Homo-oligomer: A and B are copies of this chain.
Amino acid sequence: MAFTDASLVALRVFREVAERGTLTAAATALGYTQSAVSRQIAALERAAGVELLERRHDGVRLTTAGRLVLRRAAVVVDEIDAGTRELAGLPDDESTVRLGWFATAGAWLVPRALMALGRTHPSITVITREGSTPALVRALRAGTLDVALIASAPPFRAPDDETPALEVDTLVERSLRVAVPAVHPLARNDYIDVEDLRGQRWISGPGDPWVMGVWPGLGERPVVAHTARDWLAKLQLVAAGFGITTIPASLVAVAPAGVRVLPVRGGPAEQRRVLLARLPGPVPEPVARLAAALRAVVVETE
């Protein structure tokens, strides 16, 4: 048994696992049982003669050998898929870009950029997908995305520490702001003093409230009145006066009526970056066009 005896199915499954970070998730994505995926991976590892995955309590991570195999698997699977299209007489998808984005980018940046790109380069097809930073990074490494918009907060670490390092480009850096109800006392000024944020009722995202939704560094356990993943929901909750929340400056333009978005003074600067990440290597022309469109939107919203 050698790596030569690996099966295409196993390679496909492996790529999916690498992208999802979990055997179970990969299984449901592929319409398999978790058991089947487990066995496929086991078979692939037997063929490779090495552990490809590091099992952890919350899923799996690629080992060094796993990353090697992933690169090969991505090429192989892509080649097979390209052959499939070719046999079907479909055009080469050279003009299709697969873009991933973090939730916030979907509210303004992505649609604007796609509109602009559609006007200037109607021949470019863009397929997009929302995802968390780890999910997007995994998808880039698995070759399932060409490019991804990623959010980054201080201390602005690289999205992952694998090799080869992703090529990361800062699209924009802005200060974090706070969204308050228009009728809220804090809405009277054109800015908010950081001290006034203490004791407020917060609307945060799901999970760790410090991660998203609550002003960082307040040092107190925040009062989280509501949690919501969706920006529209959050902002409507704010508009209705149920609390306040942090918001990136880029969403100012789409804040609904009844919401004021204000900068915060005092305390350390809370910068947020929007990154454009992709695997190192030559940049296909459609990808460059899309990147340019994204940059243009950022600049004109400046």
Q: Which residues of A contact B (CB under 8 A)?
A: 2-4, 6-8, 48-50, 65, 68-69, 72, 75-76, 79-84, 86-87
Contact = CB atoms under 8 A, between A and B. Distances in A.
A65 B48 contact: no
Contacts of A84: 2-4
Q: How many copies of this chain does the complex contain?
A: 2
A278 to B, nearest CB: 21
Contacts of A80: 3-4, 6, 72, 76
A6 B86 CA distance: 14
Contacts of A2: 84
A76 B7 CA distance: 12
26 contacts: A2-B84, A3-B80, A3-B84, A4-B81, A4-B84, A6-B8, A6-B80, A7-B7, A7-B8, A8-B8, A48-B87, A49-B87, A50-B87, A68-B83, A69-B87, A72-B79, A72-B80, A72-B82, A72-B83, A72-B86, A75-B75, A75-B79, A76-B76, A76-B79, A76-B80, A79-B79
Contacts of A79: 72, 75-76, 79
A82 B86 CA distance: 25
Q: Is the interface of A mostly helix, strand, loop or mixed?
A: helix
Nearest to A65: B87
A3 B83 contact: yes
- Tell which of A50, A65, A82, A87 has the most Cβ of chain B within 10 Å: A87
- Tell which of A65, A69, A75 has the most Cβ of chain B within 10 Å: A75
